[in-house]
Amino acid sequence: MHILYLFFLFLSSCLAADTVSLEGLFSILEDYFGETAISSPAANSTTVRVGFDRVDQRLHKDWLFTRVDSDRSWYTIKHPVADGFIHFPEIKAGAQAVVTPSASSFFEVIARSNARFTIQPVEQPDPNNPLYWYVGEFRSGEERVLRLKGGRHDPGFSLIPHNSG
């Protein structure tokens, strides 16, 4: 609990700055269900999805955030063990993220209240109706995956720094 308190103090000091620097390893926590992003191989396929689950600590759940623009909070997000980047092959509502070594989407990470973040693709088909990350079912009753959604969106992700100890 003490570590979590220190994390929120650290994050609060970052949020007071003009831009938030999130370079390094982070777990991506979806706040509503308390699930963490993992790389998840799709059954009978070579596709690797960005799945969400209540994470077994043996799973590799950390993602490498690398800033791509010094003036903006734009990042690539890579899974170091799966050796692939989070990528949306299509930028449209309902699109599902994949993990691929050959392509990367750029994401804007927007700090919101209470140490929560909204994450959206930099590339937007309609800037007046931006698309954001959300977690939805792959198919009814199956694992939840990372998707894009438009319209009003509450911040729904916490980024927990990697604990190397």
**What domains, with CATH codes, occur in the chain?**
2-161 (2.80.10.50)
81 strand-pairing partners? none
User: Structure pTM?
Assistant: 0.76
**161 phi, psi to nearest 5 deg:** -60, 150
Higher pLDDT residue, 120 or 48?
120
Backbone torsions φ then ψ of 42, nearest 5 degrees: -75, 140
pLDDT at 88: 93
Contact 78, 66 (CB under 8 A): yes
Q: Taking Cα atoms as reference points, which of 92, 162, 82, 155 lies closest to residue 123? A: 92
Confidence at residue 124, expressed as pLDDT on a 0 to 100 scale? 94
If one compares 94 and 18, the residue with the highest pLDDT of the two is: 94
Reported as a single tens digit per residue, the pLDDT across 121-133 is: 999 999 899 999 9
Sign of CA dihedral 135, 139, 142, 143: negative
The two three-digit tokens of residue 115, written as one number: 């140490």
Which DSSP helix (H) or strand (E) runs through 19?
none
